[in-house]
Structure 1
Amino acid sequence: MAADVDPYRPKALGSNALYTPTYVQSHLTVSDPASLYNARIKGRHVPLANPAKDRPPKSTSKKSTGKTSVRKALVRDRTRKGGWQLEKEAERFDLFVPLHRLWVEYMSELLGLASSSEHPSRMPNSASMHPKLVKADLHGSLLTVRQSRNPCLVGLSGIVLYESENAFRVITKINQVKLIPKQNTIFVLAIPLYSTLDATQIPSTSRPADAQTQAQASIPTVLDVPHLEFELYGNQFRYRSAERAGRKFKAKETIEL
């Protein structure tokens, strides 16, 4: 290399040797690159990269306007307004016994149970009840916890006041409202063996006001009459009652706790 060569010296370009026209025309393989440059490139704005696209704000994205977000917003609004809370004076088991009786009559009609006077010795076909039980409304039913990872919940029994996707809210005979999760819990659902539409299977609880302050264990429920018991596996029952009514259930094995 010669000693007088300066590699950092800027290259001298004359007025007739502009860099862009010279570079573009030298890389064109057409017969007349000058005319093509003047027609398509000269005096025009040529982007060297793709322009950035404008993204919509997060508030109008598909995720925030989906059905799941709307449903969660409704649940938060109901919870904030106290839609699922009972007043302290209303936490009494005897107040919800009529709701339980109404549910028993609903199950008698749904399952088509026969009265005890018509077929006193015939047992109903339990296999035909399964498709109807998984889609039935359980508000007012009497559930008992048979198995759970929480030992404090085993044996807990009460009338269902509210069913959500992941839990049951029940009231026990000692006037306590409990929230029982469905996950990893096995419930026992009791239904009457015979129809109660004739209002003779479960006796009435109409009694004087002073007698209603006695022990709540004397109030009759479906457990006080001939009944059938079915096991509900909470892991397979984690749906809302409205969703469960239109869902197609498939028989599958369940791993024991």
Structure 2
Amino acid sequence: MEESLLRSPIPRNLVGVLGVEPQTISQAAAFTEAFLASSVQHPERHDVKNMLTHKAVILSYARPKKEKTKSKKAKGLNARQKRAMKVFQIKPEQQKYELFLPLHQLWRQYIVDLCGGLKPTSNPQILQQKLLKADLHGAIITVVRSRCPSYVGSTGILVQEFKHVFKIITREDKLKVIPKRNSVFSVEINGFVSHVYGNKFEQRASERSAKKFKVKGTIDL
């Protein structure tokens, strides 16, 4: 039935549109063959007469090209530009212990929420693991051991942490830079004391969340 429709004479109303005179079946077949040859991609690679025996014929089709839009990312300052602009420098008039006490109070609440509430029955090892991965900005840290004796006993609010050093503001309103290497620090919160071994802690604050720490550390002093 479908083949008879394909080879049937072209209707009179399409004669002018197609530009052929459909008087015989052979002319209709010739037109179909010519139309198919002009429509398929790479007709020299196909046997057009053989294709007419199939039920379905794939004609040429070109998908519309999508315009590629380049996303513009905001460029931040590099390390050299930050140093030139003194982004990380704390001005002398800002080196006041009292100015950072509100930050310390926020940090205490942050740690309590992180640990699900600090209770006497809490597991100290679990609390220490959470504390070591937490953000320590605002914590009061104390140097309990160090290869350099002058650092021992230094205590203050941690205001800046870098990969190799801590910067703290002491109660005497002094900014001290304490190297992490060869030092042991203590952090106290609601009666719980955790020790941080600097040699195992030489990372940026943003990198500690994915690091696994040992509960017991060692240091060569």
TM-score range, shorter chain: 0.5 to 0.7
Partner SS, residue 99 of structure 2: helix
The correspondence for 1:89, drawn from 88, 93, 97, is 93
Q: Name the structure with the higher helix share.
A: 2
| Matched residue, 1:141 | 139
Q: Which residue of 1 aligns with 2:183?
A: 185
Contact kept? 2:128, 2:215, Cα under 8 Å: no
How far apart, in 2, do the equivalents of 1:148 and 1:80 lie? 32
Is the contact between residue 182 and residue 219 of structure 2 (CA under 8 Å) also seen in structure 1? no
* TM-superposition CA deviations, 1:102-143 (whole Å, max 9, x none): 0000000001125xxxx7xx3421011132122100000000
Alpha-carbon distance in 1 for matches of 2:216, 2:195: 14
Match of 2:111 among 99, 107, 112: 107
User: In the alignment, which residue of structure 2 is the partner of 1:229?
Assistant: 193
Whole-angstrom CA distance in 2 between matches of 1:174 and 1:82: 24
Q: Which has the larger radius of gyration?
A: 2
User: 1: CA distance between counterparts of 2:136 and 2:82?
Assistant: 21
Residue in structure 1 matched with residue 173 of structure 2 by the alignment: 175
The equivalent of 1:125 in structure 2 is 123
Is the 2:156–2:171 contact (alpha carbons within 8 Å) kept by the matching residues of 1? yes
Residue 78 of structure 1 and its aligned partner are, at CA, apart by 1.4
Structure 1 distance, partners of 2:158, 2:215, is 25
TM-score for the superposition, normalised by structure 2 = 0.61
Structure 1, gaps ≥5 residues long: 1-72, 193-226
Which structure exhibits the higher relative contact order, with contacts defined as CA atoms closer than 8 Å and separated by 6 or more residues? 1
Residue 253 of structure 1 deviates from its aligned partner by 5.0
For residues 209-241 of structure 1, what are the alpha-carbon distances to aligned partners after superposition, in whole Å with 9 as ceiling and x for unaligned? xxxxxxxxxxxxxxxxxx211111000000001
Q: What displacement does 1:81 show?
A: 1.0
Letter of the 2:90 counterpart: L
Which secondary structure does the structure 2 equivalent of 1:97 belong to? helix
SS of the counterpart of 1:133? helix
Once the 2 structures are TM-superposed, how far is the Cα of residue 160 of structure 1 from its aligned partner? 0.5
Q: TM-score, normalised to structure 1's length?
A: 0.53
The answer for the alignment partner of 1:248 in structure 2 is 212
